[in-house]
Each structure stands twice: as structure tokens, then as C-alpha cells.
Structure 1
Amino acid sequence: MNLYPINAGNFKLDGGAMFGVVPKSLWQRTNPADANNMIDIAARCLLIEDGNRLILVDTGMGNKQSDRFFGYYHPWGDDTLEKSLKTYGFHPNDITDVFITHLHFDHSGGCIQWNKDKTGYEPTFKNANFWSNKDHWFWATQPNKREKASFLKENILPIEESGQLKFTSLPNNDILKNTELGFDIFFANGHTDKQMIPMINYKGKTIAFMADLLPTVGHLPIPYVMGYDTRPLLTLDEKELFLNMAAENNYYLFLEHDAHNEIITVQKTEKGVRLKNIHTTQDIFN
């Protein structure tokens, strides 16, 4: 098995929204804001090469939205999904599976692109199965008013129309083991219903792709919950459960949204679970 970080593009989000009720005087220590209160955010995806399978975890925003749309998120840097794949010698047509942690636009937008004449949409990954789960799919296609702006029809419905949509099973408890994709999945419901956190066994290590359960290093304290979460009190419990497992078992936490820290390990302290070490993907994957 080989793992590759795939940088689908950087952007900015409001620091207050990213940290909810936590005062700026606290969160800006780890996530400094610019003059407009915006903080750096990454869309760091993960490519898993396992035998004949090339599994891409999340896809970033994609590039089909309007300039006005992207203007809200202040893109920066020159990383793109296709450019990052090419860096490792891969093409979108090589991808066999796309695993979508959840269907918010900054995780699923890259799944779908314009067709050649921009009259409609088509899958970016023509030879891939797209993996979600039935509960989350229903949640995203019948969205509540709170999340409606994050579940964009043009990112979601063309996946089903393509015939390439697959659903993972749902667990009896928090973790679904021995999935079709070769890794375990932790299900979290605080951010959005049935978000999936893949846990990959790699050279004796567990690499956990944290998605929006732990967006950045700055979110390690249990009460530091995003304003975007639909059930913040549930996020508190899920974070505490998962971070304790991570500390006890020395998981390597792959941070999708932290623009400056790729992978961390954590440890238990008197103040709860806190940062142990920061790693680069090059250190862990090579």
C-alpha cells in the first residue's frame, strides 16, 4: 500500500464560524486571522494505492462554481486536484474509488465537473465508484435549512445519475470494520449526519482521515467546536471518544483542513487530550 497527500486547493473561512463560541483571543493563538477575520484552510485529500485500487478520500471544492461563489472563500495558492494527482503520476481516469466523508461542497465538489461544452455535468472520475452511505445520502438530498447551502445539487445528484454511486454498510456501533474498501470507518453525527472517518492500517500505523471531526490542530480542546456543526453537543462526545482512542492507540491524525499541519499524534494530559507531535506526510508515508 502507498499513501499520497492530494492538495485540492486552499481557501479561507471566517475564524469565528470555524470556532463557534470560542473567543478569538483563544483560537487565534493557533489559527491567526487576517484583517477580515479569515483563517487559512486546506482541502487536503488522501490517495490510497492498494493493489489494483486507487481510492481517493474527498475531492475538495472542484472548479465548476462561479467566480462569485469562489469569491466568498478567497482561494489562495496554486494547488488543484488534477495537478496534485499528476505530481504522483496519476490521472483522474486512474481512480477506481472515491470515498466521500460527507457531501458538503468543500469535500464533494471535485467529484463532478462540467462536460466539454458546459451544457451539463459529468463525473470527474469516469472509472470510479463513489462511496457514501444511505443515511447521509438521504440527509444531503433532503437537506435541513441549516445545511442547505452546503449540499449543492450539482455536486450530488450527478453522482447518482451516473450509475457510479455505492453505499457502505452502516455500523451497529461507532465503528464499521472490514469494509469493502479495506479500512475501518468511524461514524460521527455531530457535524452532519453519518460523516465517515476512514481509519487506514498502513505499515503498522493507523492513519485516521479526520475530515470535519477535527479540522485543525487548533480544534483539539473538546469544547472547540465549529459553528457549522448541526449537533455541537454530540460533537463534544464524539471528539472526546475518538481523541481518547487516538491517544491510547497512537493514531496518526491526517488533518484535511489544517493548511499548515498535515499529520499529528496526541497524548493524554491533565487538561485532556492534547498535541503530542506534528508530522509531515513525507515523514509518515515514505
Structure 2
Amino acid sequence: MNLYPINAGNFKLDGGAMFGVVPKSLWQRTNPADANNMIDIAARCLLIEYGNRLILIDTGMGDKQSDKFFGYYYLWGNDTIDKSLKKYGFHRHDITDVFMTHLHFDHCGGSIQWNKDRTGYEPAFKNARFWSNKDHWKWATQPNKREKASFLKENILPMEESGQLNFTGLPELDVLKNSALGFDIFFANGHTDKQMIPMINYNGKTICFMADLLPTAGHLPIPFVMGYDTRPLLTLDEKEKFLQMAVNNNYYLFLEHDAHNEIITVKNTEKGVRLQEVFNCNEVFNLI
């Protein structure tokens, strides 16, 4: 098995929205804001090369939305999925599976693109199966008013229309063991219903793709929960449980949204679970 970080692009989000009720005087220590109160955010996806499969976890925002839409997110940097894939000798047509942790636009938008004459939409990975789960799919296609702006039908419905949509199973408890993609999945419901956190066994390590359960290293304190979460009290419990699992099992936490910290480990302290060590992907994935 080989793992590769795939940078789908960088953007900015309001720091207050990213940290909910936590005062700026606290969160800005780890996530400094600019003059517009915006903080740096990454869309760091993960490519798994496993046998004859190439599995891409999440796809970023994509590029099909309007200039007005992207103007809200202050795009920065030059990273794209195609550039990142090319760096490691791959093309998007090589991807066999696209696994979406959840269907918010900044995680799945890159899965669908305009067709050639821009009259409709088509899969951006024509040879891939798209993976969600039945409960989250229903949640996203029949959205509540709170999340409706994050579940964009042009990002979601073409997956089903293409015939490329597949569903993972659902766990009896929190973790689906040995899923159809070869890794375990932790299910979390605080941010959105049935968000999936991949847990990948790699060279004796467990690499956990943290998605929006832990957006950045600055979110390690248990009360530091995003304002975007639909069930913040549930997030508190889920995050506390997962971070203690990470301490006990020495998990490596792959941070999708942290623009400056790629992978971290954590430890117990008198203040709770806190940062132990920061790694770049090249170190952990032996890409140096």
C-alpha cells in the first residue's frame, strides 16, 4: 500500500464560524485570522494505492461554481487535484474509487464537473465508483434548512444519475470494520449525519483521515467545536471518544483542513488531549 497527499486547493473561512462559541482571543493563538477575520483552510485529500485500486478520499470544492460563489472563500495558492495527481504519476482517469467522508460542497464538489459544452454535469472521475452511505445520502438529498446551502444538488445528484454511486455498510456501533474499500470507518453524527472517518492500516500505523471531526490542530480542545456542526453536544462526545482512542492506539491524524499542520499525534495532559508531535506527509508516507 502507498499513500499520497492530494491537495485540491486552499481557501479561507470565517474564524468565528470555524470555532463556534470559543472566543477569538483563544482560537487565534493557533489559527491566526486576517483583517477580514478569515483563517487559512486546506482541502487536503488522500490517495490510497492498494493492489489494483486507487482510492481518493474527498475531492475539495472543484471548479464549476460561479466567481461569486468562490469569492466568498478567498481561494489562495496554486494546488489542484490534477497537479497533485500528476506529481505522483497519476491521472484522474486512473482513480477507481472516490470515497466521500460527507457531501458538503468543500468535500465532494470536485467529484462532479461541467460536461464538454457546459449544458450539464458529469463525473470528474469517469472510471471511479463513488462511495457514500445510505443514511448520509438521504440526509444530503433531503437537506434540513441549516445545511441546505452546503449540500449542492449539482455536486450530488449526478453521482447517482451516472450509475457510479455505491454505499458502504453501516456499523452496529461506531466503527464499520474492514469496509469494502479495505479500511475501517468511524461514523460521527455531530457535524452532519453519518460523516465517515477512514482509519487506514499502513505499515504498522493507523492513519485517520479526520475530515470535519477534527478540522485543524487548533480544534483539539474538546469544547472547540465548529459553528457549522448540527449537533455540537454530540460532537463533544464523539471527539472526546475518538481522541482518547488516538492516544491509546498512537493514531496518526491526517488533517484535511489544517493548511499548516498535515499529520499530528496526540497525548494526554492535565488539560485533556493535546498535541504531541507534528509531521509532514512525506515523513509518514515515506515519500522523501
SS at 1:160's partner residue? helix
Aligned residues with identical type, % of pairs: 84
**Structure 2 alignment gaps of length 5 or more:** none
**Structure 1 alignment gaps of length 5 or more:** none
Equivalent in the alignment of 2:252: 252
Equivalent in the alignment of 2:113: 113
SS at 1:86's partner residue? helix
Residue 101 of structure 1, CA deviation: 0.1
Residue 128 of structure 1, CA deviation: 0.3
Q: Which amino acid aligns with 1:166?
A: N
Residue 82 of structure 1, CA deviation: 1.1
Residue 9 of structure 1, CA deviation: 0.2
TM-score (norm 1): 1.00
Equivalent in the alignment of 1:60: 60
Equivalent in the alignment of 2:219: 219
Equivalent in the alignment of 2:275: 275
- Which whole-Å deviations, capped at 9, do the CAs of 1:10-43 have from their partners, x for residues lacking one? 0000000000000000000000000000000000
SS at 2:4's partner residue? strand
- Which whole-Å deviations, capped at 9, do the CAs of 1:101-122 have from their partners, x for residues lacking one? 0000000000000011101100
Q: Which amino acid aligns with 1:37?
A: N
- Which whole-Å deviations, capped at 9, do the CAs of 1:93-140 have from their partners, x for residues lacking one? 000000000000000000000011101100000000000000000000
Equivalent in the alignment of 1:83: 83
SS at 1:266's partner residue? strand
Q: Matches of 2:168 and 2:37 in 1, distance apart? A: 38
Residue 260 of structure 1, CA deviation: 0.3
Stretches of 4+ aligned residues off by more than 4 angstroms: none
- The CA RMSD over aligned residues, in Å, is 0.3
1:100-139 alignment to 2 at 5 Å? 100-139=100-139
Q: Matches of 2:127 and 2:179 in 1, distance apart? A: 20
Q: Matches of 2:128 and 2:186 in 1, distance apart? A: 23
Q: Matches of 1:121 and 1:165 in 2, distance apart? A: 15
The answer to which of 75-84 and 203-212 deviates more is 75-84
Equivalent in the alignment of 2:206: 206
Alignment of 1:232 with 2:222, yes or no, is no
Q: Matches of 1:178 and 1:252 in 2, distance apart? A: 18
Task: Tell me how many residue pairs correspond in the alignment.
Answer: 286
Q: Matches of 1:4 and 1:114 in 2, distance apart? A: 26
Equivalent in the alignment of 1:264: 264
Q: Which amino acid aligns with 2:235?
A: T
Q: Which amino acid aligns with 1:217?
A: A
SS at 2:48's partner residue? strand
Equivalent in the alignment of 1:32: 32
